[in-house]
Amino acid sequence: MSGVWVFKNGVVRLVENPGAESLDGSRQGSNTRRKVLVHTPSNEVITCYGVLERKLSSLGWERYYDDPDLLQFHIASTVHLISLPKDFNKFKSTHMYDIVVKNRNMFEVRCLINECVDVVM
């Protein structure tokens, strides 16, 4: 991953395309790259948390309900925990890469540019 690390309001985050995103987090320009999470065995783009939860459940992930502000998944006998924002609109590429790393060969992040799909590894 490349980009610029931004520290704001006590939170550090990676801005992957600094020209497309301002420091306050708003998108700029109409030709920005949008990343999507794809379930590779089915080649299905994850469009909502319901689809993602079904895919993760089939891989052995269990849902935690402890924090009302997060969707959390844990897989038994590991230390892995996936924490996602409750609002799918706040589901960013850092969350996607977290899922990819913890589920090798099952998910990948792809970059959409004007309806063309490029694989991002």
pLDDT of residue 5: 75
Give the pTM: 0.67
pLDDT of residue 23: 46
How far apart (Å, rounded) are the C-alpha atoms in residues 47 and 88? Answer: 9
pLDDT of residue 36: 94
Long-range contacts of 17-20 (CB under 8 A, 24+ apart): none
To the nearest 10°, report the CA torsion of 97, 101, 102, 107.
Answer: 70
Go through the domains of the chain in sequence order and give each one's CATH number: 33-112 (3.30.920.30)
Span 68-84, pLDDT tens digits: 899 999 998 889 999 99
pLDDT of residue 14: 77
Q: How high is the mean pLDDT in each 10-residue block of the chain (121 residues)?
A: 71 68 48 84 95 96 92 92 94 95 94 56 46
